[in-house]
Structure 1
Amino acid sequence: MTALLVALGAAVGAPLRYLVGQWVKDHRGTLVVNVAGSFVLGLVLGLPLSPGLVAMLGTGFCGALTTYSTFSWEILTLSKRGEIAAAVGYALLSITAGMGAAVIGGALAHTLVS
């Protein structure tokens, strides 16, 4: 049953990731989905949800929405073009913003539950 819930979440997250990629044509699309997914995951993990919902929303939806492989590819592409400062800046911004979004999502969940 859990695998089905993960698949259901992924069936929403993956098309949403594709649509954002079509809407924002460059690495900013990856940044948007990764930060949004981090926020949602922080929220999901901070709420008192059933294990099934956590699997569907956290693993399925957030797992399909976010993309570490594209993030890595974009950093590699920037580096190969000699845009080292842009690559480092993009990596630092992505990691910092993602972690911050997860913390904010968790804090919001805590506030909602309290």
Structure 2
Amino acid sequence: MTTALVWMGVAVIGGIGAVARFVVDREVSRRSSGRFPVGTMVVNISGAALLGLVAGLAFSPHIALLAGTAFCGSYTTFSTWMFETQRLAEERQTWPAAANIVVSVALGLPAAWLGQILGAHL
């Protein structure tokens, strides 16, 4: 059963995850050149690793909800990833658009797997 305290935790921790996404994306993007969405890629790959770690640690359901769904769910951003890929395609930057998909998946899946392995060994 989900309590009011857990719901409040989801709201607060989700907000922290969203702010963390904003800060990481902004700092990475500020340091990179060009229009390729490096910041979103870094956020999503690091979020995949973090979610894998959370899964590997096998927390209680409430803690998993707070760490996985609230923080990681608001930290990572599928919609921005797809929007930026679509924007690249609209700008006829076909190779960067394809690279955004391929590299994100090619790095995100191993990041989640490594996070889970690490979490299981902690």
Q: Find the counterpart in structure 1 of residue 17 from structure 2.
A: 13
SS for the counterpart of 2:16 is: helix
Distance 1:21 1:102 in 2: 19
Deviates more, 1:17-26 or 1:78-87: 17-26
Aligned residue for 1:74, secondary structure, equals: helix
The residue aligned with 1:51 is: 61
Alignment check: 8 A CA contact 2:89 2:97 kept: yes
Residues 25 and 42, structure 2, Cα contact 8 Å, conserved in 1: no
8 Å contact 2:56–2:116 — kept in the other structure? yes
Output the TM-score relative to the length of structure 1.
Answer: 0.91
| SS across alignment from 1:82 | coil
The question of whether the paired residues in 1 share the 8 Å contact of 2:10 and 2:70 is answered with: yes
Superposition CA RMSD, Å: 1.2
5+ residue gaps in structure 2?
A: 30-35
Aligned length: 112
TM-score (norm 2): 0.86
Give the aligned partner of residue 8 of structure 2.
Answer: 4
> Percent identity at matched positions?
36
Residue 98 of structure 1: how far off its partner (Å): 1.1
Picking from 87, 90, 96, the partner of 1:77 is 87
Unaligned runs of 5+ in 1: none
Map 1:6-45; keep pairs closer than 5 Å: 6-25=10-29, 27-45=37-55
- 2: CA distance between counterparts of 1:91 and 1:55? 27
Distance in 2 between residues matched to 1:15 and 1:40, nearest whole Å: 16
| C-alpha separation in 1, matches of 2:60 and 2:16 | 19
In 1, Cα distance between equivalents of 2:47 and 2:59 = 17
Residue 45 of structure 1 aligns with an amino acid whose one-letter code is: A
Describe the SS at the equivalent of 2:95.
helix
Give distance in 2, aligned partners of 1:39 and 1:8. 22
